[in-house]
Amino acid sequence: MISQTTINNVFETARLEEVIGDFVQLKKAGSNFKGLSPFTDERSPSFMVSPVKQIWKDFSSGKGGNVVAFLMEHEHCSYPEAIKYLAKKYNIEIEETEQSNEQKEQASERESMYLVSEYAQKYFSDILHNNEQGKAIGLTYFKERGFTEETIKKFKLGYALDQWEAFTKEAIKNSYQLEFLEKTGLTIVKETKQFDRFKGRVLFPIHSMSGRVLGFGGRILTSNKKAAKYLNSPESEIYHKSKILYGIHQAKQAISKEDNCYLVEGYTDVIQFHQTGIHNVVASSGTALTSDQIRLVNRLTKNITILFDGDAAGMRASLRGVDLILEQGMNVRICPFPEGEDPDSFAKKTPYEELVLYLEDNSKDFIAFKAGVLSDEAKNDPVRKAETIREIITSISKIPDTIKRELYIKECARIMDISEQVLFSTLAQLSNTVTRENNKTTKQQQKSFDVVHKSKQPVKKVDEQYELERKIIQMLLLYATVEAEFEEYYLKENDTGELQLDKELEVNSVHQKVFLSLQEDEVEFANELFQVLYYKIVEKLQSDDKLQIETFINVLEPVLASEVTSILMNEERYSLNDWERQNIFPIKKEDNIGRLVNENILSLRRFLVTKKIDELAKSVSQEISNVEIIQEIMDYTALKKVLSEKLNRVL
């Protein structure tokens, strides 16, 4: 178990915007930051981070919380794992007590697989550096590839002994269960036999964006024609090949900083680039590029530069992924290497400055590159040239931005020596085809909708008391210790005997005003969550005389912390629209705190009075007139009228 001292130290040191900035490209939005949701596929930013309050909210998925909640949601890790991640990031020493056997048994299956994978990475690295066979075969291979000791350790490379059960036996000896060795694919089990999957291979650990070991890629070093040159971990609960990019953990900060991501094919391409000094590079690990992989990059930057081998097959393969990138509204450039070269070999012999210059000079916009490659294939064949143009227009049609589409059409017309009108016409035909397909789907959906519509679904009623109580909690969270001028109301009869509200002005803090008002009316929150939050806020203010959200939220149970985040970040939501930049200046709540608190309290009083009137009305017998109850109803109705007039409400 991690000590409370360590946990407190982590919360005091960690900066939410820095941690989330490792995973999401954030842009300044007033006093907050905004970005694209890392949990849903979106094009307009609805993800907001508040550095002041140290909380975040994703309005597209509804998720939110503090720095630990983000890591738990994004990396699917446990609370202790998130604390350990932050401690490692900020160089905080972890004080930890020994876990009991019962606590170990309670660890989730997913966590067990992570632990097995992390153990395997350390084991294979240890073999590489400290075992005679590992040094003679594995380390020698990496050194021959030109990798330095520093690079090898940075990427945590390893070696699996050329023995059938060396790793499996050692793992079981260290209390790791065979069940999880098999589920991660590290051990292959056949009936009563078991053996190491990566036997005799050098190993490339594959990390998540946060640095957790998900799986391995292993390269064989012998000339065995029956064995695959590269072997990856099988798909598992923690490893999905199509959803991860090799090197994303080491590259994420550089990608965000440089606002560009270089995409290569293999492990050694990534490592060699890093060693040369270019860190914003990742690999698809030999698989065809997928939408999930592109979305991973899209969290960090809108710009991708594809690097590939100088052969025709490599060019064609890279072009297939362009359309997927364009569909997500990203910008694509392509950089080929000289024939016979790949990113690994070229970076190995090219100094940093020359490599940077080469990438800048040879990176072409996708349309220019695609037109060049395809037109070379078509040459003087009109039919092939027409197919080439149609293929380019198909790519352009994937771009969601209409301005970009038009600019690319003009560029294509210039390169291919064809009129813009013809290209626009072709684009329109393609768009109409897509539209017809979409309309067909829409009509089918509409037909289903019509059937549901006829059944007259009930309209969901707004829970007025819930909203009023939520607003009071919101005012306490935002302005508890702020002093303001309040209008204090009291009832009295006028000359005609009618009730009326008189007022006096008084200065008080928001939390004292709310507390006294609720005490006076003997009001308890109907919502249990708000009731608990209210007393925790009061308790905190009684002990500290201040309420710091960034520390208060860290001591709350997850359900309460989530509710606090939702309440607070809902206030920040509209700053996503950048009203000031449009010369629209909304009135700030800070300028009307006293009035807003009074309105909330009066509205709650009015609601409770109305509720009381309804309850009394139901209790009156239809046969026997109850004079006392009727008089009570009349008194409450008179009070409701006074409250409504003060709130400018219609009865």
DSSP 539-579: HHHHHHS---HHHHGGGS-HHHHHHHHHHHHHHHGGGGG-G
pTM over 0.85: no
pLDDT at 379: 66
Question: Is the pLDDT assigned to residue 622 strictly greater than 70?
Answer: no
Q: What percent of the chain has pLDDT over 90?
A: 28
Q: Which two tokens stand for residue 326?
A: 């364009």
Highest mean pLDDT out of 1-10, 98-107, 356-365, 628-637: 356-365
Reported as a pLDDT band with limits 50, 70 and 90, residue 232 is very high
- Could you tell me which residues come within 8 angstroms of residue 396 by beta carbon, excluding any fewer than 6 positions away? 326, 367, 405, 408, 409, 412, 427
C-alpha distances out from residue 154 to 141, 434, 514, Å: 17, 47, 56
The mean pLDDT value for 569-591 works out to 55
Read off the DSSP letter of residue 2. Answer: B
Cβ(236)–Cβ(185) under 8 Å?
yes
Total residue count of the chain as it appears in this document: 651
Question: Is the pLDDT assigned to residue 105 strictly greater than 70?
Answer: no
Q: How far apart are CA 28 and CA 576, in angstroms?
A: 10
Q: Which residue has the tokens 């409701």?
A: 640
Q: How far apart are CA 146 and CA 272, in angstroms?
A: 8
Question: Is the pLDDT assigned to residue 610 strictly greater than 90?
Answer: no
Q: How many Å is the Cα radius of gyration of the chain?
A: 32
For residue range 433-473, what is the model confidence (pLDDT) as tens digits? 655 555 554 455 444 444 444 444 555 566 788 888 888 88
pLDDT at 474: 87
- Could you tell me which residues come within 8 angstroms of residue 220 by beta carbon, excluding any fewer than 6 positions away? 200, 201, 227, 228, 229, 230, 231
pLDDT at 453: 43
pLDDT at 455: 47
Torsion sign across C-alpha atoms 176, 178, 181, 186: positive
Contacts 24+ apart (CB under 8 A), 386-391: 388/416, 389/416, 389/418, 389/423, 389/426, 390/426
Reported as a pLDDT band with limits 50, 70 and 90, residue 568 is confident
Average pLDDT of every residue of the chain: 82
Cβ(334)–Cβ(314) under 8 Å?
no
Least confident of 226-235, 421-430, 602-611: 602-611
Highest mean pLDDT out of 53-62, 267-276, 283-292: 267-276
Q: Which residue has the tokens 């900083």?
A: 257
Q: How far apart are CA 182 and CA 194, in angstroms?
A: 9
Question: Is the pLDDT assigned to residue 412 strictly greater than 60?
Answer: yes
The mean pLDDT value for 500-505 works out to 68
For residue range 326-344, what is the model confidence (pLDDT) as tens digits? 888 899 999 988 888 889 9
Reported as a pLDDT band with limits 50, 70 and 90, residue 124 is very high
pLDDT at 270: 96
Question: Is the pLDDT assigned to residue 583 strictly greater than 80?
Answer: no
Q: How far apart are CA 295 and CA 464, in angstroms?
A: 40
C-alpha distances out from residue 260 to 14, 43, 239, 300, 302, Å: 26, 18, 26, 8, 7
Show the 3-state SS of 120-164. HHHHHHHHHHHCHHHHHHHHHHHHHCCCCHHHHHHCCCEECCCCC
For residue range 144-167, what is the model confidence (pLDDT) as tens digits? 999 999 999 999 999 999 999 999
Beta strand residue intervals within 343-482, DSSP E: 364-365
* Cα–Cα nearest to 469, from 521, 511, 526: 526
What domains lie within the chain, and their CATH numbers? 4-89 (3.90.580.10), 108-239 (3.90.980.10), 248-426 (3.40.1360.10), 464-574+590-646 (no CATH)
pLDDT at 450: 45
pLDDT at 113: 92
